[in-house]
Each structure stands twice: as C-alpha cells, then as structure tokens.
Structure 1
C-alpha cells in the first residue's frame, strides 16, 4: 500500500530515531525515561497540546494592547475559552527597538503603553494565559526588536516578572551556532525563572530537532 507523504515522513523519522537508540546515542532506559518525564511534567504546562490565538498570521506587526484585550474578551464571549482555547499569544513586534539602560526588554510604548505586565493581568483576569515572543538570535525576525541570544537569564526573569505563561522562540539573526545550544540556554533560564512558562521552539527544523529537542528540556 502506498504511503502518504506524512506517513512516509513519520516512518523515516521513526526509523532514524530507532537507529540512534540502537547505537546508544539516545538513552531510553527506564530510569532516564522516568526522570525525563518527571521533569517535563513538573511545571504543569503542556500536558495536552496548547490551544489559543497567535497574532502573527493575520496581523503580523500591526498589533496593540487594545487588540489583544479584545481578543481575550472574544475567546471568552464566544465560548472558545471554555473549550480549552486559553492562550492569547503576542508574536513579533511587541517590543521596543532597543533594550532599556539596564539591559531589559521593553514593551513598545506606542502600541503597548500600559506594559506587558498590565496586559498579562488583564488576560489572567479573564481566566486566560498570555504568551509572548522572542528569538534565539540577536534580533527578532522582523528586525524591529532585540532577540534574547546572550540575554537568556535576564529575559526569562523579565517574562516571569511580567506574568507571561508561554514563550514562542524563533531562530532569526542567530550567530550561526547550532540551535540546540541556543535553545537549551533559554530552556535552562526559564526553569530558573520561578514561573511555569511553556517553551515553544520555532526553529524551522534546522539540524534535526527531533533529536536534540529530547535533551533541550533536561539541562
């Protein structure tokens, strides 16, 4: 029987992972698996696939706090929130062009004058969760705000202080180093930040993420 493209791709990926298991490059022993699952479940996020709204596909950089609040209101009023659509996620362009004098990311004053913490408070008051965007490079993909490369710890703490619940982490303007190290640094920083934040990798399939993602979350 002829397989579809999706089925054949899944078969190839599964076969490659199996070969790595056989030659010992991926440890799926009972103890390793138990510790891995324990750590993944510990922060309580992504026990099921996250559902919600992201600003990019329709609005791209044309976003502001009133729009985000209206979206949160709509998720509740339409009944989508009750069905599990809990995330209201900002994508690129929410931030100022440069960091503050203390090295922190800042909301863009013209579009998010109340700041991200106030926006998170509003979203939380609706029983929803706020997501935000950054990049594992020096700039985000729009080149309109700084990325988090080299600033992982301070940015993770900032997101936690603001009450962020979800981080989409893109892959533009990187230093041409392998993504596993860059993504692992942010993963570790989020674990230390003191708030459960769902970490969403947006790295375009570079360097076979189906291998390294297994280890990103356990550093």
Structure 2
C-alpha cells in the first residue's frame, strides 16, 4: 500500500495521528497549473513592490504583513504592498503604500500582477500547502513566508526567500528590509525561485508516483 501526499505536514499527520508507517507514505508534492505561457525572467534592480495573494486575511496573516509594512516604509519609504484576493480587512484610512485589488479570477491577469511585483509575502498563521507561493516562485519572485505547514519546505530559507516565525511582525519586517536592501541577493533568489518551481511540475510529480508504483 502506498499513500501519496502533497505536503510534509500531511505526512507527519498520518504518522502522528493515525500511526501509519512512514515507509508507506510517499511525499510527491503538489503540482502547479501554469499561470501564463510566457516565460518568467530573473528579477534584478531595486526590489520594492511586495505582493500578497489570499482570500482569508486572518488565516493568511494579512494583518501581520500590514503591521510589518508600516515598519518597512519607515526605513524604505518607496516600498509598496499590493493585496489581491480580499477586501475584508479594516484599515481606517488606507496608507499611500497600499494598493488593494480585490479578487482576481483571470489567471492571465493574475500572472501579470505577479510579474509587476518583486517580492511575494505570505505570513500565514495556518497553511496546509500554500499554492500561491509556488505561483510566485514560477514567476521568479523571491518569497517571504511563515514557518507553518508546507511553506518552509516550498520556500527554503535564504535560498528562494526568507522563512520567519508566524505572527512575528518584527522578524517579518526585518526579512523584507534585508531583501529590499540587497540587490544582488534578490537577483540570486529570483533565479533560485524559477529553478525551484520546476519541482512542482505535474510531469515531475506523475513521474515520482509512477516510479514508486512500478518499484513497489
């Protein structure tokens, strides 16, 4: 018997909660349906434009990111944040550095939004997988994510981005500032992001499953 799972978190849950032997569980990852047929490029220049994509603001940590960005702009005044996927948060007066787009359903439009930004950020409180992080990697965006669920396995700390503790506003702000301040590391992380995205190709995942079945 083989049980195929998309995340390390699911793998751990099967072992801890249900007592399933680890050698029966096969981690294969999750696949990405490409946003656009156009190839993404390695980013360069001064990273300033942060992107958040998510429909559940509290679970995805949008309030944490807003607090962190309030600190970021004190150090890097031209930093900006674009929020896609939700309008369900209260800010009072909207700061100049914030652009709220609401829900975007068209995948080509979403791809263009990724391409118009420099850094993707998902400081989630809870997250089983986080497919939006894979979308961001596939468009060459370094990612800053929290250390929950599959996120730290998808985005490896200091390789394709930064991983910070959940609900740590100061750590999140510091990670964003450091990434914005280092153009060279930003470009290296962008190149690694594109390479990392290939691990989430459906053909690659199908191959992992097939190899396990045929070798069983």
TM-score bracket relative to the smaller structure: under 0.3
Name which one, 1 or 2, has greater alpha-carbon Rg: 1
**Structure with greater strand share of residues:** 2
Larger RCO: 1 or 2 (CA < 8 Å, sep 6+) = 2
